[in-house]
Structure 1
Amino acid sequence: MEHTEIGVVHTSIDRADPEAVAALSAFGVATIHEAMGRVGLMRPYVRPVYPKARLCGTAVTVLLQPGDNWMLHVAAEQIREGDVVVAACTAETEDGFFGDLLATSFRSRGGQGLVIDGGVRDVADLADMDFPVFARAINAKGTVKATLGSVNVPVVCANALVRPGDVVVADGDGVVVVPRERAAEVAVAAAAREAGEADKRARFRAGALGLDLYGMRGPLAARGLRYED
């Protein structure tokens, strides 16, 4: 997908159902990714900037220009309670687009965090604030405010398509994007998957082997695996 809209702010977006977002918040990224059919992940280079950062919310999307954070300030006005800002860039960049001042602004609007395919700074302050940020890089290099991007347009962030209002969940395992129209369905599937994993966990704790639990012995034998004493 190519970014096509420059210089536009869409002020009305369709957000995922709040109850579905709340349901998804109970699950980890790996569970949601698997429950959704093993899709939706951002590239693994997008990492939490402090330990145990976690977020879940509806996306306000931003398209940035390299070395320019103007549109993050524009995006602040569009944040509603429960939103996560997701920022992509027109070209690969690691500049420090975001720090504690913007985090303070985002939080005052109800923002739940930031996911950015770029750099951020002031990470000690972000950790003290417990404002979750997932970023490509930590970089003290500053940015300017000179070139237009867009807000609330579809973006590709770290190889994942994110539309305004989609659900974004991030934790230590990465970042996953759930299309807004699938949020309720995926939450149900994630709950079912987690229940199944709880049963397997109990059986593993009791000494069961994956070889038997997953019916691996027959396929292994068919491939020619031999046991020799």
Structure 2
Amino acid sequence: MDAIPVVRSAADREAIRQRFLLVDTSNVADVLDTLGLFHQGLSSVFTPYPPSSGKLAGWAYTIRGQMSPYQLGGDPDKMEACAGVSAGSVTVWSGDGEGVCYFGELIAIGMKERGCVGSIVDGGIRDIRWIAEQKFPVFARYRTPVQSIARWKVNGWQIPISVRGATSQWVKVCPGDFMLGDEDGVLVIPNEVVDTVLVEAERLTDQERSIREELQQGLSLAEALAKYGHV
């Protein structure tokens, strides 16, 4: 039985998002392990475009599609799906598309106008240079100039989806889960443990900050390990 999502106010969601921007995925991954959530990392094929796009942190808004030949002229379901994006969200795109982009510059602009703070794409993107000018972080599986129109079509949104995983073939992403990405990769934090994970990740972050300061002041690594244990 799926857990019931925790309902939070818009202010609480944004406050949590800002706090997550100050912690590293490595610390969050360690916390998830202690909770028995061992398969929350996305595959290493997910790459930031551009590499300087910065940190990604926000609430999952899921979009799913599939290869489905149709006439040129646009995908109204994709437009309807994107219209539902709200502030602080990260769109997470899934599907069986190969060789085609799921979205480009114009959709990124439209989502940003609605307060979306980034995207994770288990597929392709294009217009990378122009998306970079929007300062809109995107982690995607590949890049391609080939459009999805007439090839790949959205067939669902705000539903549980599966994206490629790091330690498992697939990772489940539900609407309202928290997505965190940085130089080390991307994690899915289930909605019901977001608060627990954040508090412990902040504690680990403070501990690491203290360790770095003490190392700079002359503490040896052996002394740090004896004092703080595994870090």
Quick check: TM above 0.5? yes
Whether the 8 Å CA contact 2:62–2:160 is kept in 1: the answer is: yes
Q: Which moved further from structure 2: 128-137 or 48-57?
A: 48-57
Aligned residues: 202
Question: Aligned-pair distance for 1:86?
Answer: 0.2
Tell whether the 8 Å contact from 2:61 to 2:90 is kept in structure 1 after alignment. yes
Distance 1:110 1:15 in 2: 19
Matches within 5 A, 1:34-183: 34-37=30-33, 39-53=39-53, 54-66=55-67, 70=75, 71-89=77-95, 91=96, 93-145=98-150, 147-159=153-165, 160-183=171-194
C-alpha distance 39-21 of structure 1, shift in aligned 2 (>3 A): farther
Contact conserved, 2:48 with 2:138, CA < 8 A, in 1? yes
Asked whether the equivalents of residues 59 and 162 of structure 1 are also in contact (C-alpha less than 8 Å), the reply is yes
Greater C-alpha Rg: 1
* TM-score (normalised: structure 1): 0.79
Q: Give the Cα separation in 2 of the matches to 1:92 and 1:107.
A: 24
SS of 2:219 mapped into structure 1: coil
How far 1:99 sits from its partner (Å)? Answer: 0.7
Ranges in structure 1 where 5+ consecutive residues have no aligned partner: 1-12, 216-229
Give the secondary structure class of the aligned counterpart of 1:141: coil
Q: In structure 2, what is the Cα distance between the partners aligned to 1:78 and 1:14? A: 20
* Gap regions ≥5 residues in structure 2: 166-170, 227-231
**Aligned equivalents of 2:86 and 2:174: distance in 1?**
16
Partners of 2:84 and 2:116 lie apart in 1 by: 10
2:60 equivalent to 1:30: no
Which digits, 9 at most, give the CA deviation of each residue in 1:188-222, with x for residues without a partner? 0011001110121122223333334324xxxxxxx
TM-score calculated relative to the size of structure 2: 0.79
Q: Are 1:195 and 2:200 matched, yes or no?
A: no
- Structure 1 distance, partners of 2:94, 2:7, is 19
| TM-aligned CA deviation for residue 15 of structure 1 | 5.8
